[in-house]
Amino acid sequence: MTITNQVDATILEVGVGGTYDCTNTVPRPIVTGISSLGIDHVGVLGKSIGEIAWQKGGIYKVSVPVAFHHAL
C-alpha cells in the first residue's frame, strides 16, 4: 500500500510484532495496539513475558493512543 491509494484508514496487522515490526514504518498512526501477549514468540522476542512485553511495546509512539486487550 502506498500513499497514492488515498485511503482514509487502514488496519495493519502483523505477524510477530514488536520493536522491529513493519508497522513502525508508519510514523504517526492514529492508534497502536497489542491484542495479547504470550510465550509463543520466545525464540524471537525474549525468554520471558516481561522481555516479550518490552519488545511488543516497541510499536508504541509518543502521544499516540494505545488499545490493548487484557486477558486473564
What does the H/E/C string look like for 6-67? CCCCCCCCCCCCCCCCHHHHCCCCCCEEECCCCHHHHHHHCCCHHHHHHHHHHHCCCCCCEE
* pTM (2 d.p.): 0.68
Query: Could you give the percent of the chain with pLDDT greater than 70?
Result: 88
Q: How far apart are CA 2 and CA 52, in angstroms?
A: 30
Confidence of residue 70 (pLDDT cuts 50, 70, 90): low
The pLDDT value recorded for residue 71 is: 64
Q: How far apart are CA 61 and CA 37, in angstroms?
A: 19
